[in-house]
Every structure is written in C-alpha cells, then in structure tokens.
Amino acid sequence: MFGFENITNQNGWAMAAVGASIVFMGLVALSFVISQIHKLLKLWDDRQKIIDRFKTKVPADADVTEAVDARVYEERHLPAVDELASIYQPLIDKLEEPFKLSQLFEIANKNDVPHPHLSIQRLQEAGLLVAQGDGTFTWNKQIED
C-alpha cells in the first residue's frame, strides 16, 4: 500500500499538521525572542544600576519623610488667546498656507508648547485658525491685528 491511502490510514495528515504547527510555533517564539533581545542587552548594560537600587536599604529608624523628594506641583494654566497667538504665529509662519492641523501639532510638540491640543482648539474657537473645508486651515491675520 503506497500513496495517499497509506498516509490516510496511518494518520499521516494529522501528524503533518501537528508537525507543521510545532515548527511554526517555534519560529514565532524565536522571532519574539529576537525582537526583544535589545531590551535584554540594555538590562545587561545597566545591571550595576539595578543591583545598586536593590542593595540600597533605608534604615528602620530613619524618618521616611526626609528621604522623599519634596517635588513642588506646578500648576500650568492655558495662556490667553492673545498670548497663544503670539506663541503660534512664528510656528505658523514656518508652514505653507493652507496647512493641516497635524503639521501644526507636530511643530508645537517639537517646540514644547504647553497643551498643544487645547491651544489649537482655543485658537479655532477664537477664529484665528480658519477651516478651509478640505481638511486644511489658514491663519486669520485680521482678527490678530
């Protein structure tokens, strides 16, 4: 008995499917390990910092409140529209009009403008950013003056 009959009688199709699945799962696991190797290498390079972090212990009788950083919470408010216009004007001058909001958002993020989403929204509500209807915007210089 040769051929497909013998393969079917001896469960060859099931064995082939299981074998292929095992090989495939092994390749998936290997590719995952390879994709994460950079994290393991970084941990290996910084191993002394990690070891030092676990070795440092606070004495039981020490006052814990002294060891804690006294970080001051700095409340940041969104500037007024006039101030936002003066901040965004040089950024918009870099763009060709009409421009997309995503371009303005990128430039605002690169220049560390506070709250870019809210700032852009406030400029739109004030009428400084005017929608052109095709997903692009222009700067309304008449309101600014």
2 band by pLDDT with thresholds 50, 70 and 90: confident
Q: Where does a domain end: 41, 71, 101?
A: 71
- We report the CATH number of the domain holding residue 108 as 1.10.10
pLDDT of residue 22: 97
Collect all residues with Cβ–Cβ distance below 8 Å to 85 and sequence separation of at least 6.
Answer: 123, 126, 128, 144
pLDDT of residue 120: 83
Q: Where does a domain end: 71, 93, 119?
A: 71
Each residue's pLDDT tens digit, 86-132: 888 888 888 888 888 888 888 888 888 778 888 888 888 888 888 88
134 band by pLDDT with thresholds 50, 70 and 90: confident
Asked if residue 87 lies in contact with residue 123, where contact means CB atoms within 8 angstroms, the answer is: no
Cis before 98 (ω within 30): yes
Same domain, 67 and 85: no
Instruction: Spell out the SS3 assignment of the chain.
Output: CCCHHHHHHCCHHHHHHHHHHHHHHHHHHHHHHHHCHHHHHHHHHCHHHHHHHHHCCCCCCCCHHHHCCCCCCCCCCCCCHHHHHHHHHHHHHCCCCCECHHHHHHHHHHCCCCCHHHHHHHHHHCCCEEECCCCCEEECHHHHC
pLDDT of residue 76: 61
Whether residue 128 lies inside any domain: the answer is yes
143 band by pLDDT with thresholds 50, 70 and 90: low
Q: Where does a domain end: 71, 102, 129?
A: 71
Whether residue 76 lies inside any domain: the answer is no
pLDDT of residue 37: 94
- What residue type is 136 in one-letter code? T
Same domain, 90 and 134: yes
Same domain, 124 and 85: yes
The whole-number average pLDDT for the span 42-53 is 88
pTM: 0.44
Same domain, 1 and 53: yes
Whether residue 17 lies inside any domain: the answer is yes
The whole-number average pLDDT for the span 25-31 is 97
Number of domains in the chain: 2
The whole domain housing 55 covers 1-71
